[in-house]
Chains A and B, each alone.
Chain A
């Protein structure tokens, strides 16, 4: 079964600084990878997804993620964060022949002025 680890529980970043959130997955075959964001009091919104092809994936809100098979990682990045990026971020992995996704425990991002 697949699983996801998000090593950082909480990250604080200054507005305008770059952000990188780590995600490591465990799965024997080709993984299908997702990043979701949850703003306070809201449901989860998909930021980006990787199914195949180019390992650098562009998403909404200026986010990108890079799939590195050799490191079993799918880290999320943003070059310059905005105060509105303060939220909780979840990495998820799915398998080709499965309906389910496995989610990490989440990383909370705080943006300071």
Chain B
């Protein structure tokens, strides 16, 4: 079974803090993704990575950065947390292109509250 783990299930931070969300997958997948999930908006892609040290912006990258130093680990960084970044953050991984082995495997999510 593919396992995607996220470092925290719940996180409370203060405005202006630097926040790190960690994601690890154990199936040697090439691709990793960070989404935020908000009621009525579904999942919106923040960043994704198709290889170590490679990253591409998704639909809503503003206020976020990412790091992928090892294949199994993908970190999401909030440089200076703001209250509008309060959300559920989901990490996912996939072995290839959407049209081949494109299904994504998701972690349990991190619910981040910024006060």
Q: Is A63 an interface residue (CB 8 A)?
A: no
B60-68, B79-87, B90-98 - the one binding chain A? B90-98
Q: Tell me how far the C-beta of B80 lies from the nearest C-beta in chain A, rounded to whole angstroms.
A: 27
List B contacts of A6 (CB < 8 A): 42
Which residues does chain A contribute within 8 Å of B45, judged by CB atoms? Answer: 100
| Cα(A45)–Cα(B109), bound, Å | 12
Task: Tell me whether A43 and B99 are in contact in the complex, defined as CB-CB below 8 angstroms, given that A99-B94, A100-B58 are known contacts.
Answer: no
Closest to B108 in A: A43
Interface string of B95-109 (1 = CB under 8 A from A): 011111011111111
**Which B residues lie within 8 Å of A49 (CB)?**
103
Interface size classification for chain A: 20 to 34
Q: A49-B103, A99-B98 are in contact. Are A105 and B40 (CB under 8 A)?
A: yes
Residues of chain A in range 20-60 having any CB-CB distance to chain B below 8 Å: 30, 32, 34, 36, 41-46, 49, 51
**B42, B98, B107, B108: which contacts A98 (Cβ < 8 A)?**
B98
A-B contact pairs, 28 of them (CB 8 A): A30-B99, A36-B106, A41-B108, A41-B109, A43-B107, A43-B109, A44-B43, A46-B103, A46-B105, A90-B43, A94-B102, A96-B98, A96-B99, A96-B100, A97-B99, A98-B99, A99-B94, A99-B97, A99-B102, A100-B45, A100-B48, A100-B98, A101-B104, A103-B43, A103-B44, A104-B42, A105-B41, A106-B42
